[in-house]
Amino acid sequence: MLLAEDDAMIGASVRRGLSQDGFTVDWVEDGRAAELALAEQVHDAVLLDLGLPRKSGLEVLSAMRRGGDTRPVLIMTARDAIADRVAGLDAGADDYVVKPFDLTELAARLRALWRRRAGRADPILAFGVIELDPASHETRVRGQPVSLSAREFALLQALLARPGAVLSRAQLEAKLYGWSDSVESNAVEVHIHALRKKLGADLIRNVRGVGWMVAKPDAPQATS
């Protein structure tokens, strides 16, 4: 996720709080930097302050939508006038929060955005005998809790959110690691190996030379 916020105290607090809640957050402090980061196409959602220097959040958002970028955008703003909120929503924002806001509410709104984007109403991700709760970070198999590390949970969530879709190494690394994190060359394989041991060897399939997936029911077997 990309956070665009020029206030150092708010930016650090939001990044820290969302990271503790399981989100991977990259932070930029002006509108031009936000546009450059968005051009990399690695972030799946945007937290956008309206009052950014160099280029306003509203300009960044408008340019995204004109360019066909449909990624969810949640506006964070100190501008609580109705006209400002309407302008943001009409420019293409999916939701907004007014500063100061509660971090637990912010995280819940982000999870709701992803559910709507995926066309899901149920907050629980279910796949066969596996259930994953993004809000509580709990994973259950046949009703029994299974302990996963934060990155194992994030990887499983990314795959279960798009059953049948093959996610590349770069896509999965973007889900697990921020810009400042060091990433071992085999990090994804290590986490997948751990998930297979805990949840079953057949859950995650490798499509050789492309990436990994969880197959939709009755999908043909992928190469491993």
pLDDT (0 to 100) of residue 202: 86
**Topology at the third CATH level for domain 125-213:** Arc Repressor Mutant, subunit A (1.10.10)
8 A C-beta contact, residue 156 and residue 134? no
Every domain of the chain and the residues it spans: 2-117, 125-213
First-to-last alpha carbon distance for the chain, in angstroms, is 30
pLDDT (0 to 100) of residue 164: 87
Averages of pLDDT over each 10 residues, the chain, 224 residues = 95 93 92 95 91 94 94 86 82 90 92 82 84 90 92 92 88 84 84 93 90 73 48
CATH class in words for 2-117: alpha beta
pLDDT (0 to 100) of residue 181: 74
